[in-house]
A and B are shown apart, each in its own frame.
Chain A
Amino acid sequence: MPDNGASKAQVAPTTTNGAAAETRRQRMRVLISALGMLPVLLILCIGFHALSEGRFFTGQNLGIVLQQAAVNTVLAAGMTFVILTGGIDLSVGSILAASAMAGLTLSKLPELGMLWLPAALLTGLGFGVVNGALIALLRLPPFIVTLGSLTAVRGLARLLGADTTVFNPSIPYAFIGNGSLTLVPGVASIPWLSVIALLVILVSWLVLRRTVLGVHIYAVGGNESAARLAGIKVWAVLIFVYGVSGLFAGLGGAMQAARLYAANGLQLGQSYELDAITAVILGGTSFVGGIGSIWGTLVGALIIAVLSNGLILIGVSDIWQYVIKGLVIIGAVALDRYRLQGSART
């Protein structure tokens, strides 16, 4: 092959350029996938700011957005654990209602009133563990089990208050629902609800990324059979994630109860599970499990809150809000799929 040398000389420079371009592209891809839906969130914020004649980026409005996002963020954090294992938890809205009812009922007892907060958390944890046990030990599909508890726990929530609204205007720890943590006196403060949500995200991140259990959660979601063969106690991981989801739903119930001083077993938390699932999916967590991050979930929850808030600000009617929110969710996930195509493994 006499022309070998010549062709090699020709090929070499283009290859180097190509490789450099590929490295750049690779870097871009890593950056984009780390940022996830953050650009979408920012574009929405800027867009609403422009359309609402500058009423979006005000201290007061941002406080409202954060407060509105708080409960859904907490539920979505729990949902992230579950979806990372390839499962689903449809019962979080009902568990939230039941926990709020249990907490409020207890808070009216004079001698035990202070214990309402742990009672709400334990109620949530209890229902979550039952979900997890049914799924892990009886090997029932998560969709079916939590669909069942969606209905059953809703019934229990109504039973708890004899199907009435329970009020307690003097509920202890009411500050977590309505107070703010002052950062700079007179200048900046942040609602306690948002502080709790951020703490939940932070703790979730620590568990998922910095503990053995976290790796095991990703492993179970990535390949359950391999996880079992690798000696991971899959049943324990499953009970844990549904337990966490229940616990966080209980926390969400406590947050709602403290904010409203009241709870109604029928209405509270209706279809909250859908917003939580939406936040997780918007955050880029794979529905089949194994891939995703808690930060994505936070961004997803904020997108939902910003959408609700922004559409009200610019005066879109309630009916159209539904339509627009639904389309934005589908569009955002479509964008996400398109974005990930390049990095998908074969």
Chain B
Amino acid sequence: MNDPILEMRGVSKSFFGIKALRSVDLTVYAGEIHALMGENGAGKSTLMKILSGAYRPDPGGEIRIEGKAVRIEGPLGGRAAGISIIYQELSLAPNLTVAENIYLGREISRSGLLARGTMREGVGPILTRLGADFLPSTLVANLSMGQRQLVEIARALHARSKILIMDEPTTSLSAAESERLFALIRQLRAEGLAIIYISHRMDEVYALGDRVTVLRDGRLVGSLDKPEIRADTIVRLMVGRDVSSFYKKDHDPEAGRGHPVLAAIDMADGQRVKGCSLTVHAGEVVGLAGLIGAGRTELAHLIIGAAPKISGRLELEGRPVDIRTPGEALEAGIAYLTEDRKALGLFLDMSCLDNINLAVLGHDAKLGWVLDRDKARERAERAFAGLSIRAANVGVSAGGLSGGNQQKVLLSRLLAIAPKVLILDEPTRGVDVGAKSEIYSIIDNLAKAGTAILVISSDLPEIIGICDRVIVMRSGHIAGEIRRTETAPLNQEDIMALATGMEHLDA
């Protein structure tokens, strides 16, 4: 192969005596997609922040770009060295246009006035090259998540970056958008860019990775070339032990089939959800699949009363219930885990203890409104033990926890009300492999205990791995339902066919 474009030798980083990176050697070549994997806290983001210039590495290590030793300093240092990073939470200003975003911080001005026309023309060729279906003058607020990602990539290309680092770029993309992104990434590889691709998702790493490097506890524990890339090898490297059964499904799918717990009939909101009915039985895990924008989250919001419905009714254990607010849903025993735990779920500045107890404070209170702090602490500690939440103690604020632990804290809040129905919206999004597997076994145990569970997920292997039955939504309608049988396990093709529509398949 040609000379490496990026070489890191013995790069370490410690924070107040705690080593976040320990003497990492990483070599990346031009024209390769280099997947970087590791559990949360393994050191991926530290490594990335060193390359972007946000952190300064400990003395002793060396970073070479195209053979020349460089010092990357300050937030602009990475870009100056030819490195662009696309963060998981995109860093675009939605109130500005595509062109303005691409030129952000490097605006062209003529005698003090912004040269909007020149800027629009300047980004035109790059957008064409990327196959963008929007204009330089489009407001970013009007773009889909996939299109916004494209703007980020255009920004990187526009800055003439040679190394592109992408941090879980498909987290908020639909399957179709992801496919387009993959094609684009391959195109960029062919054009000679080096791409460092950070992901938790095995299928993406299979599809894209020319090489895979795995970090664990701040150390580089292995680099695999294409032929050696295998799920079990990677998982073993990542967690340092064998993960025999990743998806856990021990509960008996036949157990409660005769006893419907939740029935939603003809639910519609007049916009995204157009007359959907579904039933979930006790002890059953039902998947709700579909493309992004198919209306799955909106349907869940209708069920729990978080959005106003124009039609539809609910039955809980055979009896009609009227639910108009999320509070009434919790009261009735229907709990909903949001897909956006930071914006809609957790109180990041509040302690884990308060976060966990929030839904049951009123029930536990003495005299109706005085906090029962002993009971709250006991409940939080029980949740920490039961769901193996890893944090110094129950008093630390939820914002400081890793994604997986945050998710478990949020889940604990819902489990505190002992729900009859649990609706989980993307329960493992942004969660590391270890915590994922733990969340699957929590779901499995709840099903065993008779909870009716509805899992909304864009991760098809996950749906197939943990669900007894899959309901597929397409543009606001229920497109169909697939039941797992002894002879025919669930498969991705059937689900995708329903999710995209048959005409799509024939093409």
Partner-B contacts on A (CB < 8 A): 11, 14-19, 21-22, 25, 210-216, 218-219, 222-223, 225-233, 290-291, 345
Interface segment out of the listed B14-22, B190-198, B287-295: B14-22
Instruction: List 8 contacting pairs A-B, 8 Å CB cutoff, sorted by A.
Output: A19-B16, A219-B347, A223-B344, A223-B347, A231-B325, A231-B327, A233-B325, A345-B400
Q: Which residues of A contact B19 (CB under 8 A)?
A: 11, 15
Partner of B18, one of A22, A213, A215: A22
Q: How many Å lie between the Cα of A291 and that of B359 in the bound state?
A: 20
Beta-carbon contact of B17 and A19 below 8 Å = yes
User: Which residue of chain B lies nearest to A7 when distances are taken between CB atoms in the complex?
Assistant: B23
Interface segment out of the listed B105-113, B348-356, B452-460, B467-475: B348-356
A226 touching B346 in the complex, CB below 8 Å, given contacts A22-B17, A212-B361: yes
Q: Which residues of A contact B16 (CB under 8 A)?
A: 18-19, 21-22, 25
User: Which residue of chain B lies nearest to A232 when distances are taken between CB atoms in the complex?
Assistant: B327
Beta-carbon contact of A18 and B343 below 8 Å = no
Task: For residue B507, give the distance in angstroms from its CB to the closest CB of chain A.
Answer: 39
Size category of the B interface is 35 or more
Task: For residue B396, give the distance in angstroms from its CB to the closest CB of chain A.
Answer: 10
Partner of A223, one of B348, B357, B370: B348
Beta-carbon contact of B17 and A231 below 8 Å = no
Q: How many Å lie between the Cα of A223 and that of B371 in the bound state?
A: 21
Which of B33-87 touch A at CB < 8 Å?
none
Q: Any chain A CB within 8 A of the CB of B326?
A: yes
Beta-carbon contact of A226 and B345 below 8 Å = yes
Q: How many Å lie between the Cα of A140 and that of B240 in the bound state?
A: 54
Partner-A contacts on B (CB < 8 A): 14, 16-19, 306, 325-331, 336, 338, 343-350, 354, 357-359, 361-362, 365, 369-371, 397, 399-400, 413
User: Which residue of chain A lies nearest to B364 when distances are taken between CB atoms in the complex?
Assistant: A212
Q: Which residues of A contact B400 (CB under 8 A)?
A: 345
Partner of B331, one of A16, A215, A218, A231: A231
Q: Which residues of A contact B357 (CB under 8 A)?
A: 215
User: Which residue of chain B lies nearest to A223 when distances are taken between CB atoms in the complex?
Assistant: B347
Beta-carbon contact of B371 and A219 below 8 Å = no
Beta-carbon contact of B354 and A345 below 8 Å = no
Task: For residue B360, give the distance in angstroms from its CB to the closest CB of chain A.
Answer: 10
Beta-carbon contact of A211 and B369 below 8 Å = yes
Beta-carbon contact of A222 and B358 below 8 Å = no
Q: How many Å lie between the Cα of A263 and that of B251 in the bound state?
A: 74
Q: Which residues of B contact A211 (CB under 8 A)?
A: 365, 369-371
Q: Which residues of B contact A14 (CB under 8 A)?
A: 17
Beta-carbon contact of A215 and B358 below 8 Å = yes
Closest 10 pairs (CB-CB, A-B): A18-B17, A231-B327, A22-B16, A222-B347, A212-B361, A231-B330, A345-B399, A231-B326, A211-B369, A290-B349
Q: How many Å lie between the Cα of A232 and that of B361 in the bound state?
A: 11
A225 touching B369 in the complex, CB below 8 Å, given contacts A22-B18, A230-B326: no
Task: For residue B377, give the distance in angstroms from its CB to the closest CB of chain A.
Answer: 14
Q: How many Å lie between the Cα of A211 and that of B371 in the bound state?
A: 5
Beta-carbon contact of B14 and A225 below 8 Å = no
A226 touching B359 in the complex, CB below 8 Å, given contacts A14-B17, A213-B369, A231-B326: no
Beta-carbon contact of A218 and B347 below 8 Å = yes
Beta-carbon contact of B413 and A230 below 8 Å = yes
Beta-carbon contact of A18 and B336 below 8 Å = no
Q: 6 new A-B pairs (CB below 8 Å) besides A17-B17, A22-B17, A232-B358?
A: A16-B17, A223-B344, A226-B343, A229-B336, A290-B349, A345-B397
Task: For residue B219, give the distance in angstroms from its CB to the closest CB of chain A.
Answer: 11
Task: For residue A205, give the distance in angstroms from its CB to the closest CB of chain B.
Answer: 13
Q: Which residues of A contact B359 (CB under 8 A)?
A: 230-231
Q: How many Å lie between the Cα of A215 and that of B358 in the bound state?
A: 8
Q: Which residues of B contact A19 (CB under 8 A)?
A: 16-18
User: Which residue of chain B lies nearest to A225 when distances are taken between CB atoms in the complex?
Assistant: B344
Beta-carbon contact of A222 and B350 below 8 Å = yes
A230 touching B349 in the complex, CB below 8 Å, given contacts A18-B18, A212-B371: no
Q: Which residues of B contact A18 (CB under 8 A)?
A: 14, 16-18
Q: How many Å lie between the Cα of A211 and that of B361 in the bound state?
A: 9
Q: Which residues of B contact A17 (CB under 8 A)?
A: 17
Q: How many Å lie between the Cα of A216 and that of B362 in the bound state?
A: 10
Q: Which residues of B contact A218 (CB under 8 A)?
A: 347, 349-350, 354
Task: For residue A261, give the distance in angstroms from its CB to the closest CB of chain B.
Answer: 39
Q: How many Å lie between the Cα of A265 and that of B335 in the bound state?
A: 52
Q: Which residues of B contact A227 (CB under 8 A)?
A: 347
Partner of B370, one of A22, A210, A219, A229: A210
Q: Could you say which of B19, B349, B370, B399 has the most chain A C-beta atoms within 10 Å of its C-beta?
A: B349
Partner of B354, one of A11, A215, A225, A226: A215
Task: For residue B310, give the distance in angstroms from its CB to the closest CB of chain A.
Answer: 20
Q: Which residues of B contact A226 (CB under 8 A)?
A: 338, 343-347
Q: How many Å lie between the Cα of A218 and that of B355 in the bound state?
A: 11
Task: For residue B15, give the distance in angstroms from its CB to the closest CB of chain A.
Answer: 8
A219 touching B358 in the complex, CB below 8 Å, given contacts A226-B347, A229-B344: yes
User: Which residue of chain B lies nearest to A16 when distances are taken between CB atoms in the complex?
Assistant: B17
User: Which residue of chain A lies nearest to B400 when distances are taken between CB atoms in the complex?
Assistant: A345
Q: Which residues of B contact A231 (CB under 8 A)?
A: 325-331, 359
Beta-carbon contact of B346 and A212 below 8 Å = no
Q: Which residues of A contact B338 (CB under 8 A)?
A: 226, 229
User: Which residue of chain B lies nearest to A4 when distances are taken between CB atoms in the complex?
Assistant: B23
Q: How many Å lie between the Cα of A222 and that of B354 in the bound state?
A: 12
Task: For residue A80, give the distance in angstroms from its CB to the closest CB of chain B.
Answer: 16
Task: For residue A6, give the distance in angstroms from its CB to the closest CB of chain B.
Answer: 13
Q: Which residues of A contact B330 (CB under 8 A)?
A: 230-231
